[in-house]
């Protein structure tokens, strides 16, 4: 038996080891902290770590009674998410050193179940497209994606097994794809957005980055004190859903979706190719305007009192929001409602659909974070999505595919993603590639 450092364990494996008494929270947290110490100077995933506080909490977990399903497990939180004990800057110089009065709901719930806050991880500016300093652990010259850049990089680099992220367009799914890990955007509301800095409240969704589908499911439902099992009873009915957006997907990404579909079919799933309905296609054009209209409101204080500290990219986006009248906004919301109905109709016969998670591999350069477009429709419709690595691209970097399901069908979508992961086998896993 080769001795792995505890940080290599997934969340579920570590939780079981802690419960069985074969692993202490302190040893696990120490192992994570060692990795952060060794690597974060290059990676810049974390924005705040209080090592002593994390170790104290871990020792308290080891010494105290079992508090819940997440007992002793370290986790990280995107710096868009309020924490009372660690500074929360929302990726903006405006909030440098800001200490919120209260923990966000997700952080408080994790603590209630015994989890240990390891630190805060970087977000792009207010979860928009101006990136922070985080690098992709698989290739330090490339973007980890955004806006949940730190969450994805930290998890992919084995600094922590799970991290909270948020998605307003493609901010969980894309970094998961770029970093070769799992991203889970639940049905909006399963994990509360309370205490998360708002960008586009009709879309802002809290989710998780993890290395395994089962870990993301375990942590998301474990927050509520509930254990879950990911099982498919009947053969999966999967739609390979094409749309005009696919024109933006690289050839390798299209192949990755196909590869995943065929692997599922070989494993017994029933596949069908389906073209996205026009009422759904139209949302691709509206969604950025909905974000802009809502962001111009949500960031009104910053826009009015600290305009000089906003990036030019964000300022331009807020100015675009000012071009949209409230009547136009309401009409767009009506179009989204029609799309919601159409989705329920078009996908009633399927357990989930397969879709690209990003245009392609992580791009070279750190001044942009790639397009979030492949997340837009599913986010505005509040649908559960799970991204997992399905193949490698021309540069040997991971390509993620997303499994998308009906509203509230999270467990089915997670089970379908887990089935796809198994069907694809270990070849799609990029962990071996990362610079250790």
Residues tagged active-site: 78, 147, 171
**In terms of CB distance, is 296 or 429 closer to a copy of itself?**
296
Minimum separation from the CB atom of position 54 to a copy of itself (A): 18
Tokens describing residue 397: 């970097």
Distances (CA, A) of 363 to 169, 264, 373, 392: 18, 28, 15, 14
**In terms of CB distance, is 27 or 339 closer to a copy of itself?**
339
**In terms of CB distance, is 202 or 315 closer to a copy of itself?**
202
Minimum separation from the CB atom of position 411 to a copy of itself (A): 7
Minimum separation from the CB atom of position 108 to a copy of itself (A): 4
Give every CB contact of residue 270 below 8 A, 6+ residues apart in sequence: 235, 236, 237, 238
Minimum separation from the CB atom of position 309 to a copy of itself (A): 13
Minimum separation from the CB atom of position 67 to a copy of itself (A): 11
Minimum separation from the CB atom of position 364 to a copy of itself (A): 35
Query: Is 369 within 8 Å of 129 (Cβ atoms)?
Result: yes
β-pairing verdict for 352-356 and 237-242: parallel
Work out whether the CA dihedral 330, 333, 338, 341 comes out positive or negative. negative
Tokens describing residue 161: 């097994």
| Residues contributing to the site for a copy of itself (CB under 8 A) | 84, 95, 98, 101-106, 108-109, 111-112, 187-195, 198, 201-202, 220-221, 224-226, 294, 297-305, 322, 325-327, 329-331, 333-334, 337, 340-341, 344, 406-411
Tokens describing residue 20: 């069985």
Give every CB contact of residue 334 below 8 A, 6+ residues apart in sequence: none
**In terms of CB distance, is 20 or 301 closer to a copy of itself?**
301
**In terms of CB distance, is 1 or 304 closer to a copy of itself?**
304
What is the C-alpha separation between 432 and 429, in angstroms, rounded?
Answer: 7
Minimum separation from the CB atom of position 243 to a copy of itself (A): 22
Give residue for tokens 């998301």: 220
Residues in the chain: 436
Give residue for tokens 């170790």: 55
**In terms of CB distance, is 79 or 139 closer to a copy of itself?**
79
Tokens describing residue 128: 């928009």
Helix/strand/coil (H/E/C) assignment for every residue in 106-172: HHHHHHHCCCEEEEEECCCHHHCCCCCCCCECCECCECCCCCCHHHHHHHHCCCCCEEEEEECCCCC
**In terms of CB distance, is 196 or 366 closer to a copy of itself?**
196
Q: Which of 137, 119, 161, 113 is nearest to 9 (CA)?
A: 161
Tokens describing residue 216: 């993301």
């Amino acid at each position: 038996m080769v001795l792995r450092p505890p940080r290599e364990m997934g969340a579920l494996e570590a939780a079981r080891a802690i419960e069985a008494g074969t692993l202490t929270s302190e040893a696990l947290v120490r192992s994570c902290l060692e990795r952060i110490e060794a690597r974060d100077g290059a990676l810049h995933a974390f924005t705040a770590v209080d090592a002593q506080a994390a170790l104290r909490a871990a020792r308290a977990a080891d010494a105290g009674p079992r508090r819940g399903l997440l007992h002793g497990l370290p986790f990280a939180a995107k710096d868009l998410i309020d924490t009372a004990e660690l500074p929360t800057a929302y990726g903006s110089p405006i909030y440098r050193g800001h200490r919120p009065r209260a923990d966000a709901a997700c952080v408080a719930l994790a603590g209630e179940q015994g989890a240990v806050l390891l630190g805060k991880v970087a977000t792009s500016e207010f979860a928009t497209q101006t990136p922070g300093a985080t690098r992709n652990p698989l290739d330090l010259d490339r973007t980890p994606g955004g806006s949940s850049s730190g969450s994805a990089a930290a998890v992919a680099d084995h600094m922590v097994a799970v991290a909270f992220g948020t998605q307003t367009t493609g901010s969980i799914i894309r970094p998961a794809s770029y970093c070769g890990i799992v991203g889970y955007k639940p049905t909006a509301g399963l994990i509360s957005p309370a205490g998360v800095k708002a960008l586009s409240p009709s879309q802002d969704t809290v989710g998780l980055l993890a290395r395994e589908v089962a870990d993301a499911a375990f942590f998301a439902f474990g927050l509520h004190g509930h254990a879950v099992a990911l099982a498919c009873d009947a053969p999966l009915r999967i739609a390979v859903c094409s749309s005009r957006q696919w024109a933006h997907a690289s050839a390798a990404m299209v192949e990755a979706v196909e590869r995943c579909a065929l692997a599922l079919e070989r494993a017994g799933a029933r596949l069908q190719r389906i073209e996205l309905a026009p009422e759904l296609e139209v949302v691709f054009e509206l969604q950025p305007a909905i974000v802009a209209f809502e962001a111009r409101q949500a960031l009104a204080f910053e826009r009015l009192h600290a305009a000089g500290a906003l990036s030019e990219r964000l300022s331009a986006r807020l100015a675009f929001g000012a071009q949209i009248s409230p009547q136009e906004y309401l009409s767009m919301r009506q179009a989204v409602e029609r799309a919601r109905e159409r989705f329920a109709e078009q996908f009633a016969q399927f357990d989930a659909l397969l879709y690209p998670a990003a245009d392609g591999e992580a791009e070279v350069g750190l001044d942009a974070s790639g397009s979030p477009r492949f997340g837009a429709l599913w986010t505005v419709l509040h649908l559960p999505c799970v991204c997992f690595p399905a193949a490698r691209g021309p540069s040997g970097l991971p390509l993620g595919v997303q499994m998308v399901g009906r509203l509230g069908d999270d467990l089915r979508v997670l089970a379908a993603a887990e089935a796809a992961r198994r069907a694809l086998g270990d070849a799609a896993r990029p962990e071996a590639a990362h610079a250790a």
